[in-house]
C-alpha cells in the first residue's frame, strides 16, 4: 500500500507555467488521497510549491535537507517556520537520498534539473539491482521528459538496459493517472529483491 510518496523536482519553477500547475495538482491530489509527501526540503521552486500545496490542502509533509544547503534552498524551517511540515537535516546528499527512500513507499519525478535526474536514476538503479521494489513514476508534463524516455528506449534497443528494467519506470502526463499507476505497479518479472541491503 502506498501511504507516502517521495517527489523529486526542481528548486526552480522552470519557464513553463504548466510545471508549476502540475506541482500544485499533484500536491492537492496527494493530500486529498491521504498520501504523505517526502521531498528535498527546499522552500522555493517546484519543491516549495508542492510542499506548500500539500500543507494547504491538509496533508502531511516531510522535507529532507543536507545542512550545507540550508541557506541555499531556503528550507521552510528557516524561512516560514513549520508551515511546510517536518524538516529533517542530514549531513550529505547521499544521506538525503537514503533517508527519503527510507521514508517513502514510492517515487514520482516532476520536471527538474541535474539533481532531480540524479535522484530519479539512483532510484531506478536500486530497483534494477533489486535493492528496493518501489514504484517509480515520471510525470511527463508537456512532454518535458520525451527525449529522456527516447534515450531509455534507445538504451534498451541497443542492449544496455534489459527490457524488464524499462518497466521499472511508469509514465503519465496527468497527476491522477500517474498516482493510479504508481499505486497499482508491480515489480517487473525477473527483478529479485536483495535481502542484505534495504533502501
Domains of the chain: 4-183 (3.40.50.450)
State yes or no: pLDDT of 81 exceeds 50: no
pLDDT at residue number 21: 98
> If pLDDT is split at 50, 70 and 90, which confidence band does 130 have?
confident
The per-residue b/e assignment along 61-97, b for 16 or more CB within 10 angstroms, e otherwise, is: bbbbbbeebbeebbbbbeeeeeebbebbbbeeeeebb
Collapsing DSSP states into helix, strand and coil, what is residue 187?
coil
Collapsing DSSP states into helix, strand and coil, what is residue 193?
coil
Strand 4-8 vs strand 169-172: parallel, antiparallel, or unpaired?
Answer: unpaired
State yes or no: pLDDT of 77 exceeds 60: no
- Edge-to-edge, what's the strand order for the sheet holding 61-66? 86-90, 61-66, 36-39, 4-8, 106-109, 135-139, 169-172
Amino acid at each position: 500500500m502506498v501511504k507516502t510518496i517521495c517527489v523529486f523536482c526542481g528548486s526552480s519553477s522552470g519557464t513553463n507555467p504548466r510545471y508549476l500547475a502540475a506541482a500544485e495538482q499533484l500536491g492537492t491530489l496527494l493530500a486529498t488521497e491521504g498520501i504523505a509527501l517526502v521531498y528535498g526540503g527546499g522552500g522555493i521552486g517546484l519543491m516549495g510549491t508542492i510542499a506548500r500545496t500539500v500543507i494547504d490542502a491538509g496533508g502531511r509533509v516531510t522535507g529532507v535537507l543536507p545542512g550545507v544547503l540550508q541557506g541555499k534552498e531556503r528550507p521552510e524551517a528557516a524561512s516560514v517556520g513549520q508551515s511546510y511540515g517536518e524538516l529533517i537535516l542530514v549531513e550529505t546528499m547521499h544521506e538525503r537520498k537514503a533517508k527519503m527512500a527510507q521514508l517513502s513507499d514510492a517515487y514520482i519525478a516532476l520536471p527538474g534539473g541535474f539533481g532531480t535526474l540524479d535522484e530519479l536514476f539512483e532510484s531506478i538503479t536500486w530497483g534494477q539491482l533489486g535493492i528496493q521494489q518501489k514504484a517509480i513514476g515520471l510525470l511527463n508534463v508537456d512532454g518535458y521528459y520525451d527525449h529522456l524516455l527516447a534515450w531509455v528506449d534507445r538504451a534498451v534497443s541497443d542492449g544496455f538496459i534489459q527490457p524488464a528494467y524499462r518497466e521499472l519506470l511508469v509514465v503519465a502526463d496527468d497527476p491522477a493517472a500517474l498516482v493510479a499507476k504508481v499505486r497499482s505497479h508491480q515489480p517487473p518479472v525477473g527483478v529479485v529483491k536483495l535481502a542484505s541491503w534495504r533502501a
